[in-house]
Structure 1
Amino acid sequence: MAVVMAVVMAVVMSVVEVAVVDVNKYTRQNENKYIRQDENKYTRQNEIKYTHCACTWPSAFANSVWEGTRGQLTFGSSTLGGLVIDVSSLDPSAGSLSTWECVNTDYFQAEGILLLKSTKKFNHINALFLAYFCFTMTRVTGVEAFYFYQSHAMEPSLNNERIKIHQAETFTTKAQICGATPPVQEFHYMVKQGQELVSKQFCPPSLLARMEYNVTSSNGAVSCTGPADSWDVCTDKTKMTFNYSTCATQMMYSSDGRVYCMFNLTTTHHYTMVYSNGTSGSKFICVVSNEAGTAASFVEGRCGQSNQSPTTFATSDGSDVGFTVTMSAAGNLDIY
């Protein structure tokens, strides 16, 4: 009996040992499947598949079109078109960058940060470079609109654009891509296409008035010097209306004399982004006004452009651009 038991135990141990050895005889197959070598005897084990975690835009942006100070921006699920950066000064053959891809949106919910990079390379100092953006975005309360900052130091080789250029192709974190914080008044703005007029806001308190005004262009021409020139921000506190029957100079680049306040920010001065749907140029204009409501300047594009103040022109490539305006109240200031 003892002999029989010994034989049985030996057989059992042999079977267990073989089972252990067989279990270890798995090979990694295509599509990350683990299959026993003897497929006639054993079934396929748990199937494990690895997928790349591709970056896709948050639902607020995916597959949508936005209008703003950076032009018309078209978001796909993971790409961005329409954001044009001229790199011809570095690489004439490259011309400009206009297509971008999502790099990381993990910071968006908590910090409003979107990270993206160019899909095209360009030559710089005898090497191939990519461009990266770190957009720090804040939603304008209650509407489909954002104001945002390009969180980088100025890049002298690209006309002081706030952008990061680098040879590395694998940057994915804000530590790698984001940089200096711009001045608070240096903001961009964008609004979802079709939502422009429902996204308007009250104009700044200093401009809630009926005003007479004189306007000076960056080339020195002075106009609208008559006593009846009218700038009305009382009838509709979200809209600036100009009477072109008394002075035909186009204000805020608007052909129909109407612009809408979209966003206000106050630091040393009032910075107001206005929208014009009656212009052939940029639809977004930055107005900088003083607290007293007696002086303002305006220029196409983002706010915080070089040297712009209520009494001085913005500058571009060393030249004055835009207009300055002096105002006097033609009616009671209506401040809330």
Structure 2
Amino acid sequence: MADKLGSGDRLHVEPYDSSVTSWSTDTYCNPTTPPGTGEFHTLVKEGQESAVKQWCPGPLRGAFSYSHNDGASVTCSASSDLSVCPDWTILTFDYSQCTTIQAFSQEGKVSCVYTTMVGSTYFTSVLNPGVVDSLTYNRFTCYAIGESGGQVVMSDSAGSCADGMSFSTKSSTGSGILTLTLKDSCFGTCHFPNTWDSEWYDSDNQEIIFNLTKRTVESGWTVTVYGSSITSWTCQSNTTDTNSLLFLADQQVDVSGTKYNVFKCIRYERVTDFSYKYYIYNDREPSAGNLRLALSRYDPSVTSFNMSVLCNTSSPPTDEEFHMLVKKGYENDVGQWCPTSFIGAFHYKHNTGSVVTCNTASNLDVCTNWTTLAFDYNQCPTIQAFSAEGKVECIYTQSTGSVFYVSVFNKGTVDYTSYQRFTCLAVEDTGSLLRVSDSAGSCNAGQTPIFKQVDGSGTLEISLKESCLPGILPGWIVATGNWFSTNQKVV
């Protein structure tokens, strides 16, 4: 590396000294202004053009119409077609619909050979395997690619990427700005529920953004795998019999010089139109903090993926390992009755493992609204269910043996430190009291009501003061022991 001269080339110049016959990379490759990530160059060995193709970046994997703005005029518009399906590695511009030259290619076909990302902008080097004269038609073109207003916007630069290149600004060595409008995605077999669009709360990932048209998770499912950051995902296929969706990460990860794809397979269940439960059907991956993910070696020639393989787990999630989705803006439409054991007014005792608070000087009200746990902080100020206001709403209950796993939703203050959007309560009714443990976000695998969770505040012992159920069975019925019934069942 070297600093730029007046010509713009990166070179190091110094006076000639005949006594100097060795040079240090520490000195000569250490510029005061190093190149930016997007300021890369690409080498391809002649004769190996077909062997170097790579997947084009996620936003380009589809069929589009496009407009081309050269700064003086706009051409193409609706009468145009750019397709990256089904190959994923080749951009094909249909010159029969619009003759404006793209990617400095006479034939309108270029191959993606390398992509890097700076912030939310992709920088992609494409190779022209056709006619090249280095005037009108170039061997390489660099695209800066971004998204704006639901469209893909990209600027080009002949040869390498230009310093400071932006997807929304014409480069001095470029032909102009392309604005792409999606006609169809490359992933025709994947379908979301029709409400899966825009912003959602996720008990496993705080907040996420679905794009129903593109069938993507645009943000929120961020994970680090082998030191590489995964920030967005695209659905590849689905099965309706199990409500399964297979997602492919838009970024690959590097493992000792070898690229791998990252997959996430979920099975979902509708609770309401605006709330869903889901499980992740992958084994745990130690390189990703023990999250449930699948890795498969990257092969640019492979563009379809086997759900029966990638969604097959040797250690499937347990009943309590569910996650919850709630659509933002519809928080008031997802409440469900809390378990009947909770329908009443209670005292409670909170144990952090070292400090016990509240006891009889406390009140939990689930009578006023059967969907809401209301803790009275005037009587005991110890924070419950990670709620600043002391009110959370039951949105789903999973019963496993004698334990209820209740996902509760906080409509109030949330900072994802002291106050959480979701809390999981593991609840057991002993007959004389309720035992409860809490967990921030989703339920933990193996969570039990009697043990404090690593991400929990402690355990609760909840004692009934008054039931508000409309009918109470006589004491002689609920007394200990079985009863015989004329329908030949033991009750």
Q: Report the TM range for the smaller structure's normalisation.
A: 0.7 to 0.9
Deviation of 1:247 (Å): 0.8
Partner of residue 294 from structure 1, selected from 434, 442, 446? 434
Q: Deviations over 1:32-78 (max 9, x none)?
A: 99xxxxxxxxxxxxxxxxx8753454252453221121221211222
Deviation of 1:333 (Å): 6.2
How many residue pairs were aligned? 276
Which of the pair is proportionally richer in helix?
A: 1
Distance 1:66 1:271 in 2: 22
- Give 1:221's aligned residue: 355
Distance 1:97 1:52 in 2: 21
Q: Deviations over 1:194-223 (max 9, x none)?
A: 1122110000112112111111225x2322
Deviation of 1:152 (Å): 1.1
Letter of the 1:176 counterpart: V
Change (3 A) 1:62 1:215: closer
Give the alignment of 1:62-73 within 5 angstroms.
62-69=196-203, 70-73=205-208
Change (3 A) 1:126 1:216: farther
- Give 1:253's aligned residue: 386
- Give 1:42's aligned residue: none
8 Å CA contact retained: 1:286, 1:300? yes
Give the alignment of 1:11-90 within 5 angstroms.
53-55=186-188, 57-69=191-203, 70-76=205-211, 77-78=213-214, 79-87=216-224, 90=226
Deviation of 1:114 (Å): 1.0
Q: Deviations over 1:235-274 (max 9, x none)?
A: 1100000100111111101111110000011012000000
Q: Deviations over 1:147-184 (max 9, x none)?
A: 00000111122222111122235452311310223111
Letter of the 1:327 counterpart: I
Partner of residue 453 from structure 2, selected from 314, 319, 323? 314
Give the alignment of 1:1-336 within 5 angstroms.
53-55=186-188, 57-69=191-203, 70-76=205-211, 77-78=213-214, 79-87=216-224, 90-91=226-227, 94=228, 96-105=229-238, 107=239, 109-140=240-271, 142-168=272-298, 170=302, 171-180=304-313, 181-217=316-352, 220-225=354-359, 227-268=360-401, 269-278=403-412, 279-281=414-416, 282-292=420-430, 293-303=433-443, 305-315=444-454, 321-332=456-467, 334=469
Change (3 A) 1:234 1:130: same
Identity of aligned residues (%): 23
Scaled by the length of structure 1, what TM-score is found?
A: 0.75
8 Å CA contact retained: 1:200, 1:262? yes
8 Å CA contact retained: 1:187, 1:302? yes
Q: Deviations over 1:262-299 (max 9, x none)?
A: 00110120000000122322301101100335210111
Letter of the 2:310 counterpart: I
Deviation of 1:131 (Å): 1.2
8 Å CA contact retained: 2:195, 2:274? no
Distance 2:321 2:206 in 1: 17
User: What SS does the corresponding residue of 2:361 show, helix, strand or coil?
Assistant: coil
Change (3 A) 1:135 1:306: closer
Change (3 A) 1:136 1:234: same
Unaligned segments of structure 1, at least 5 residues = 1-29, 34-50
User: What SS does the corresponding residue of 1:110 show, helix, strand or coil?
Assistant: coil
Change (3 A) 1:123 1:151: same
8 Å CA contact retained: 2:338, 2:397? yes
Change (3 A) 1:153 1:335: farther
Distance 1:221 1:335 in 2: 37
Deviation of 1:309 (Å): 0.9
Distance 1:271 1:173 in 2: 33
Change (3 A) 1:53 1:68: closer
Deviation of 1:146 (Å): 0.8
- Give 2:78's aligned residue: none
Distance 1:312 1:325 in 2: 10
Which stretch shows the higher mean deviation, 144-153 or 306-315? 306-315
Letter of the 2:198 counterpart: S
Distance 2:468 2:325 in 1: 30
Change (3 A) 1:75 1:209: same
User: What SS does the corresponding residue of 1:111 show, helix, strand or coil?
Assistant: coil
Deviation of 1:334 (Å): 2.9
User: What SS does the corresponding residue of 1:290 show, helix, strand or coil?
Assistant: strand
Letter of the 2:241 counterpart: A
User: What SS does the corresponding residue of 1:262 show, helix, strand or coil?
Assistant: strand
8 Å CA contact retained: 1:87, 1:122? no
User: What SS does the corresponding residue of 2:385 show, helix, strand or coil?
Assistant: helix
Letter of the 1:302 counterpart: S
Q: Which has the higher contact order (CA 8 A, sep 6+)?
A: 1
Distance 2:329 2:219 in 1: 17
Distance 2:470 2:292 in 1: 36
Letter of the 1:72 counterpart: E
